[in-house]
Amino acid sequence: MKEDGAVLSQAITAWCGRELGAVPVERLFASAQTSEVAAVRLDDGRRVVIKARPDEAGRARSCVEVQRALADSGFPCPRPLTAVAVVDRRAVHAEQWCPGGDMLRDDGPETAAKFAVLLATLVTLARKVRVRPPLPNPVWLRWDHEEPGLWPAYDWHDARAGLVAVPQDLEQTVVRIRARMARAASLERTVGHGDWESQNIRWRGGEAHTVHDWDSLAWLPEAAIAGAASGAFASTEHPTLAPVDSSAAFLDAYQEARGRAFTSEERQVAWAASLWPAAHNARTEVLHGKPPIALHALRNQTDERLTRADA
């Protein structure tokens, strides 16, 4: 069955019966973008989430292993209920349904610090998990791709790339980001959340309630993980770029929570990485005729951020 973009095929329904001992009888929530997600009520009354997405060289399995380990440690995230299986040529798993909580829509320094401390906790816990790196990285963090051209391959964009011209200043920004990040290739990599946006995190009573979107884990230098998050954390329904002062507050709070100051090189890498998700989102806006929210924010902040990045 297909409802609101999320697919529960006969094969996936049968898989639910085998792995969960019950099958979906009611759709509670559905969405589809990179992954297809459906919250369902099973015929035994349980409410669970079924996720299906393209399986990139075992990447989904690594993401779920990290998610499971962090849930076991008490980190606020849905606990996986099954291992990953390949069904209908997609990686499928089930996890707890964790509804509720609120998005934080403020993009000021105090809010930035809250997001930073939570991310630092996640990265610290993830370091203890022995897992194959979740590669390839999400396309909005894949500045080190080896494909022809400036941008990594992305089906949703590639079909439009020859039809709509991307602004020259956006492409120049991407050239400078990639050149700066190439100089950081020797930095040690770790696992972190690669889509650290407000839309993926819910809060309750001032505390983190649930972190979603574990499909978006990345294997990058820690400074790049923190830097990308420092720019993206303010994104709600519409991706944007946080104010420069808020990104600075994010990076300060992150380092304090981790108990380790970044080196000068790492600080510069963080500022360069802060621009890539916004550049990816700005390109999306251009190619698909969306309001230029990320593009305007990027144009207003690129010079300052690239100066801080020594790019």
β-sheet bridge partners, residue 51 = 37, 93
What is the residue whose two structure tokens read 């839309």? 199
What average pLDDT does range 136-156 have in this prediction?
90
Nearest to 97 by CA among 34, 20, 197, 33: 20
What average pLDDT does range 224-240 have in this prediction?
96
pLDDT 10s digits, 190-215? 999 999 999 999 999 999 999 999 99
CB 83 within 8 A of CB 64: yes
The residue that leads in pLDDT, 103 or 89, is: 103
Helix axes 293-308, 264-273, angle to 10 degrees: 160
pLDDT 10s digits, 42-83? 999 999 999 998 876 589 999 999 999 999 999 999 999 999
Length of the chain: 311
The predicted pLDDT at position 88 comes to 85
Instruction: Tell how strand 85-87 and strand 90-96 pair up.
Output: antiparallel
Please determine, for residue 124, whether its predicted confidence score (pLDDT) is greater than 80.
yes
- Alpha-carbon distance of 262 to 256, in angstroms, equals 10
CB 70 within 8 A of CB 77: yes
Nearest to 124 by CA among 70, 197, 76: 70
Please determine, for residue 9, whether its predicted confidence score (pLDDT) is greater than 90.
no
The predicted pLDDT at position 137 comes to 95
Whether this prediction's pTM lies above 0.85 is answered by: yes
The predicted pLDDT at position 156 comes to 67
What average pLDDT does range 259-264 have in this prediction?
97
The predicted pLDDT at position 171 comes to 96
* pLDDT bracket for residue 163 (50, 70, 90): confident
* pLDDT bracket for residue 5 (50, 70, 90): very low
> pLDDT averaged over the chain?
93
DSSP 60: H
Tokens of 123: 């990265």
Please determine, for residue 94, whether its predicted confidence score (pLDDT) is greater than 70.
yes
pLDDT 10s digits, 10-38? 999 999 999 999 999 999 988 877 678 99
Hey, what domains does the chain have and what are their CATH numbers? 2-96 (3.30.200.20), 109-308 (3.90.1200.10)
Per residue in 207-218, is it b (16+ CB within 10 Å) or e — as a string?
A: ebebbbbbbbbb
